[in-house]
Amino acid sequence: MLGGCLRPPSGPGAETLAQKLHSDGDSVAIVLCNAGASCSDSGLECTNSSGILCTCVGPKKAAYVTCNSVRTPSSSGQSTAVAADASQALAASGSSNPEGVRCSDRPPWEAAGVPAYRISVDAKQLGPAWNRFYEKMVAADHANTVLETAWGRNIQGALRRGHELAGFQYVRFHGILDGDIGVYTEVNDKPVYDWERLDKVYDAIIAAGMRPFVEIGFTPPPLASNPAKTLHWYNNVPANISPPKDWNRWMNLMAALVQHLEERYGVDEVREHWYFEIWNESSWMYSLGMAGYNELYDYTVQGLVRGDPDIKVGGPAESGGGSAVGITNLVEYCRKHNRKLDFVTYHTYGQTDDTTVALAVTTQVFHESMASTVKQVDFKGDVFTTEWGASYSGALVRDTEISASFIAKTIHLIGTDNGIAPPSGFAYWTISDLYEEFDSGGKLAFREGNYGLMLKGDPRYPDSYDVAKPAFNAYRLLHMMGETRVATSGGRTGDGVNAVATLAAGGKALQLLVYNHVDGGRADPLASSLVYVQFNNLPFASGKMRVRHYLVDHTHSNAYDAFAEMGRPPEPTQSQWADLRRASELCYYETTVSSKDGAWSVTFPQNTYSVGLFVLSPQP
């Protein structure tokens, strides 16, 4: 039955038939031709009840059905699923309405008092394009988590949700050469390459609608000069961080890697769209430290460009204070030794000590310092931030609305910093709590400090998968921003309320992002400031206007608040998971109003550590 299609079984004995088909040792047809259903082998196709072509994608034991896929041929004649219909892709990891859901309480627009902030928006004064640098990429942990984790799941659903709801285009993983991926072994002292598991990782990323931002690392155990030099837990398969025992074998592996990727995914695709970043934070994740990084970069790039001289390569992926030194040394080394360097990378976190976190202004200033470093060494290539977040430690703010307002403020400040270009990509660390640098324990909901934008979930309850944290909902709001900035005034770039407005293409809608954030993460989240907003020169001056007001704060679009109220259970019941998912949904208030001479105003309280988005459009 290979390549065939079996309609979903129904009636008496249907479950028995499905079980029998899945228990057979040979490949079988897709049993249930619905998006998100489990299936046996990548490449199998079927047609669903709506007549839409569906395809089985992903690795064995974790493959799923995606429908209405766009398929593109590679140079080898194979075809690869690269995107799925949005609503069907979301269904595979727990349904979520892309537009959000109605908030259950009364709109906050009847607030009385003297406003602490008066925001003015002039839709006629157009500015530059709104820069979506924050959507270019997102960071993830262990590459093997795409296939399986210690907690019995994979992060494929999180990737799909991240792409469809937040617009993420690339994802960066650690450990593509680790032992659990198994690319490199030696038999009778001869190198042997096995691409099967690596292909499954990248196939799943592409099936989610994203591309890999390839991080080269770490050393395959059989190629390591010091087998005992390992780091991190990675589900009991720690990474080896020693130099290769044989640089020639390492370079041959790099060349073979590029050639294999181009054969599988297409020369033009890999050459024009993929990025190859060498290693990660060598100051502590390479046994020779930063002093040995340039040598590692040199040999790695020699091998990569032997595979294809036109691919994009870069580094050093250093963090904090080491970034300026690492970038300067790498640029000067490559210039001196005529080595290819297309982009530079750095990491930054809004934390200065154990209790001072979510520092948005500090994060902005750090990017300014990186831009200054790049200018001083006269580097003309791209600059990527391949890790960032509210904290480098597992701080509680990672789970709460504090990270949501930190994200909104940091992106606004960096994206509109006069004279300083934002990074080409800004990868939040990380997309999922299915995280394995260390063993984060058996808590399946909030660990209260894990790094992801979405929760682990309980393998027993698929509806629990990839429940959004407030931080992810902030990204959803940012994804709704329009194409062109418009004049906005009255906010505060320091602690407190600020705002930025955009206009959608063709003037079809106007968006105003409003946030309240106090750097340091120590202010009262229940305190609020009264805000008055005046919208002027709206492009839809006549007729009825729809107003939607999205809100992420302590009690809206916030699963952590619901988790705390239910007593912080380490393993929520199925009904508690249903409550958490409902609480996590991005919610909005909606009304219909008539603008007066193209103007409209509203007054509302804005909680400390909150993000709101007004979307104004003609009444449908």
Low-confidence ranges of the chain (pLDDT < 50): 1-27, 59, 62, 68-95
Q: What was the pLDDT predicted at 63? A: 56
Q: What was the pLDDT predicted at 51? A: 66
How far is it, in rounded angstroms, from Cα 27 to Cα 29? 7
3-class DSSP assignment, residue 413: helix
In single-letter form, the type of residue at position 569 comes to P
**What residues does CATH 2.60.40.1500 cover in the chain?**
101-130+483-618
Q: Which two structure tokens, joined as six digits, stand for 507?
A: 């003037």
Strand partners, 520: 357
How far is it, in rounded angstroms, from Cα 80 to Cα 74? 7
| Whether 101 contacts 75, CB under 8 Å | no
How far is it, in rounded angstroms, from Cα 13 to Cα 89? 29
How far is it, in rounded angstroms, from Cα 200 to Cα 156? 11
Q: Could you give the C-alpha distances from 618 to 98, 502, 534, 542, 545, in angstroms and in order?
A: 20, 16, 17, 9, 4
| Whether 70 contacts 15, CB under 8 Å | no
Q: Which of 462, 459, 507 is nearest to 482 (CA)?
A: 507
How far is it, in rounded angstroms, from Cα 383 to Cα 275? 12
How far is it, in rounded angstroms, from Cα 430 to Cα 555? 24
How wide is the angle at C-alpha 253 spanned by C-alphas 252 and 258, nearest 5°? 100
Q: Give the H/E segment covering residue 502.
A: strand 496-503
Give pLDDT tens digits for 431-470. Answer: 999 989 999 888 899 988 899 999 999 999 998 999 999 9
pTM: 0.86
Q: Which two structure tokens, joined as six digits, stand for 95?
A: 């349904």
Q: What was the pLDDT predicted at 390? A: 95
**What residues does CATH 3.20.20.80 cover in the chain?**
133-479
How far is it, in rounded angstroms, from Cα 553 to Cα 497? 13
How far is it, in rounded angstroms, from Cα 204 to Cα 177? 17
How far is it, in rounded angstroms, from Cα 244 to Cα 342? 24
Which contacts of 492-498 are long-range, i.e. CB under 8 A and separated by 24 or more positions?
492/117, 493/361, 493/413, 494/361, 495/519, 495/523, 496/117, 496/529, 497/116, 497/117, 497/119, 497/529, 497/531, 497/606, 498/409, 498/412
Strand partners, 549: 589, 614
Q: What was the pLDDT predicted at 449? A: 85
Q: Residue 320, Cβ neighbours under 10 Å: how many?
A: 15
Q: Which residue has the tokens 């640029």?
A: 331
| Whether 6 contacts 21, CB under 8 Å | yes
Q: Residue 127, Cβ neighbours under 10 Å: how many?
A: 15
How far is it, in rounded angstroms, from Cα 167 to Cα 149? 25
How far is it, in rounded angstroms, from Cα 600 to Cα 481? 19
Quick one: fold of 133-479? TIM Barrel (3.20.20)
In single-letter form, the type of residue at position 554 comes to H
Q: What was the pLDDT predicted at 321? A: 84
How far is it, in rounded angstroms, from Cα 491 to Cα 516? 10
Which contacts of 96-102 are long-range, i.e. CB under 8 A and separated by 24 or more positions?
96/161, 96/165, 96/468, 96/585, 97/585, 98/164, 98/165, 99/588, 100/476, 100/550, 100/557, 100/585, 100/586, 100/587, 100/588, 101/585, 101/586, 101/587, 101/588, 102/587, 102/588, 102/589, 102/590
Quick one: fold of 101-130+483-618? Immunoglobulin-like (2.60.40)
How far is it, in rounded angstroms, from Cα 584 to Cα 427? 22
The DSSP call for residue 445 is S
| Whether 281 contacts 319, CB under 8 Å | yes
Q: What was the pLDDT predicted at 76? A: 32
How far is it, in rounded angstroms, from Cα 48 to Cα 59? 21
3-class DSSP assignment, residue 590: strand
| Whether 474 contacts 404, CB under 8 Å | yes
Q: Residue 310, Cβ neighbours under 10 Å: how many?
A: 11
Q: What's the residue count for the chain?
A: 620
